[in-house]
A and B are shown apart, each in its own frame.
Chain A
Amino acid sequence: MAQKVIAGVTVDVNEEGYFTNPAQWTKDLALAIATEEGIALTDKHFAVLEFLRERFSKGEALTIRSVGNSGIIDIKGFYGLFPGAPMKKAAKVAGIPKPASCV
């Protein structure tokens, strides 16, 4: 398994840089990863990250539509927070594995 040093902390990641052990995640790490992705995190970002981590821990599917239905933000806003590929970027910053696209 690959490891990466982020903000002075060694974490387990896969070849694309996604956490393989979500328990290693901290808010400071999130800030550092987000900076690498060119994103400055706000409280709104963190609300979305917590939502994703919560859903992941319950084993529920992570989809853009589910974020849009979360009551935190609509889909348009989600794109605004994590431009380009919001779910992939948000998962990386949230310290959870890359969402397996549904089959």
Chain B
Amino acid sequence: MKRLLILGAGTGGTIMANKMRKILARDEWAITIVDQHKTHYYQPGFLFIPFGMYNRQDVVKPKTTFIPLGVEVIFQEIERIDGAGNSVLLKDGIALKYDFLIIATGTRVVPDETPGLKGPLWHKNIFDFYTIEGALALAEFFKTWQGGELVLNIADVPIKCPVAPLEFVMFADAFFVERGVRNKVNISYSTPMSGAFTKPRASKVLGALLEEKNINIIPDFYLEKVDNEKKMLVSYDEREIPFDCLITIPVHKGDAMIGRSGLGDEMDFAKAHKHTLQSDFFPNIFVIGDAGNFPTSKAGSVVHFQADVLTENLMCAIENRPFTESFDGHSNCYIETGFGKGALIDFNYDTEPLPGSFPFPGIGPFGLLKETRMNHYGKLMFRWIYWHVLLKGKEMPIDSKMTMAGKKM
């Protein structure tokens, strides 16, 4: 028996387990998936929790629900990958041999990278919403908060879902307007980038939206430390931002195990080819999603598009053929803009988000790079699609390669 070993049972690992189990002969290939946690979180839902739109039950399901029959699941911490020995050492000392390995261990927030961030104010006046604990603590805080300086800070890039911080401040605007206290809440958006978003045309459109909503953008702010006593953010060039409530997007890193295994960059993101998804170090190791150092969004849509490419290329590697598929960096994100509206962007490594209609040129139903009600419904519908279609590796009517059809230059 040969073995395909998948590390991580999040979005990427689960999709790949489903896709590969359908393709690989059961009498020839064992598939094993390893993860340390038993709960699958619908991470796009974390954004809705602080504003009371979703609760915990809306975003959790057991991981085993999504793993197909014929895939062995091991809940165990991973100690290290031994690429030269084709094996993975688990925490309890067991070594798993593999013929092919998929790394899908994701990314994590590391507030400890920034002095003072996890100080006395942590989860009292300082919250993250990229973890379930942070999102729930913030929901409690917002229930009774009387207003003041609300500051969102992105500590560094890359981050998971680069539009989520924008959505957060637009939701916050709507939330405090609806509660009649918007005049008591100042909202600021501080980022190490030069504008609201990473790509110029989207940055312009989104920046204008923030301005319209009276959200103050503080660009080129690179966070050094948080002064808990003075309730102040301090940048490396010694600028200061006072806050009463800080929403932090902490520094992101890959899994520490990637670093221990010598397969990553200095932030523990696994180094892999951005088109083939093959590891830079071993030909029988592949990387998918946030775990990798790919220069595209760390987002579920990217994982979904990569999964199609990875399925093809993994089969090429298994059958000793040249790679037939190439990942183009395709990313597609709904952006909640508050008050029941949303925007949508679609882009790849080389093409920035453009206006137009999606997925059917000229028809939509979704509008690109503009605010519509339909886009908001698209985002809400997506949760159902995620649980029932996407994780199970079923076909969706969106091609993994970005298309220019329906886009306006």
Interface mask (B290-302 → A, CB under 8 Å = 1, otherwise 0)? 0001011100000
Give A29 to B193 CA distance when docked, in angstroms. Answer: 27
Q: A60-B265, A69-B266 are in contact. Are A103 and B331 (CB under 8 A)?
A: yes
Q: Does B224 contact A (CB under 8 A)?
A: yes
Interface size class of A (residues with CB under 8 A): 10 to 19
- Mark out the residues of chain B between 145 and 181 whose CB falls within 8 Å of any chain A CB in the assembled complex: 156-158, 162
Q: 17 new A-B pairs (CB below 8 Å) besides A66-B266, A88-B194, A100-B198?
A: A60-B265, A61-B265, A61-B293, A61-B295, A63-B157, A64-B156, A64-B222, A65-B251, A65-B266, A69-B266, A75-B222, A76-B224, A78-B236, A79-B236, A101-B157, A102-B158, A103-B199
- Residue contact B295 to A101, C-beta cutoff 8 Å: no
Is B220 on the interface with A (CB-CB < 8 A)? yes
CB distance from B280 to the nearest CB of A (A): 10
Asked if residues A85 and B224 are in contact (CB atoms below 8 Å), the reply is: no
Minimal beta-carbon separation of B220 from chain A (angstroms): 6
Say whether B109 faces chain A, with CB atoms less than 8 Å apart: no
B89 touches A (CB below 8 Å):
no
10 inter-chain pairs at a CB distance below 8 angstroms, sorted by A residue, are A63-B157, A64-B192, A65-B156, A65-B251, A65-B266, A75-B224, A79-B237, A100-B295, A101-B194, A102-B157
Cβ–Cβ contact A83 & B296, under 8 A: no
CA distance in complex: A64, B194 (Å): 14
Residues of chain B contacted by A8 (CB below 8 angstroms): none
Q: Evaluate whether A101 and B267 lie within 8 angstroms (CB atoms) in the complex, with A63-B156, A79-B237 already known.
A: no
Contact B198 A101 (CB under 8 A): yes
A67-103 CB contacts (< 8 Å) to partner B: 69, 75-76, 78-79, 83-85, 88, 100-103
Which of B193, B222, B297, B331 has the most chain A CB atoms closer than 10 A to its own CB? B222
Contact residues of B between 260 and 293, Cβ < 8 Å to A:
265-267, 293
Q: Which residues of B contact A (CB under 8 A)?
A: 156-158, 162, 192-194, 198-199, 220, 222, 224, 236-237, 251, 265-267, 293, 295-297, 331
Q: Bound state CA distance, A85 and B192, in angstroms?
A: 10
Q: Looking at the assembled complex, report how far the CB atom of A39 sits from the nearest CB atom of chain B, in whole angstroms.
A: 15
State the A residues within 8 Å of B (CB): 60-61, 63-66, 69, 75-76, 78-79, 83-85, 88, 100-103
- Is chain B's interface secondary structure helix, strand, loop, or mixed overall? loop
- Provide the residues of chain B in CB contact with A85, threshold 8 Å: 194, 220
Residues in chain B near residue A79, CB distance under 8 A:
236-237
Across-interface contacts of B293 in A (CB, < 8 A): 61
CB of B295 within 8 A of CB of A103, answer: yes
- Determine the distance from Cα of A85 to Cα of B199 in the docked complex, in whole angstroms: 18
Nearest-neighbor residue (CB-CB) of B235 within chain A: A79
Give Cα A45–Cα B316 distance, bound, in whole angstroms.
46
Q: Are B237 and A83 in contact (CB under 8 A)?
A: yes
In the assembled complex, the CB of A44 is this many whole angstroms from the nearest CB of chain B, namely 17
- CA–CA, A89 to B237, complex, Å? 14
- In the complex, which residue of chain A has the Cβ closest to the Cβ of B299? A103
B224, A103: Cβ atoms under 8 Å? no
Cα distance, A34 to B15, chains bound together (Å): 50
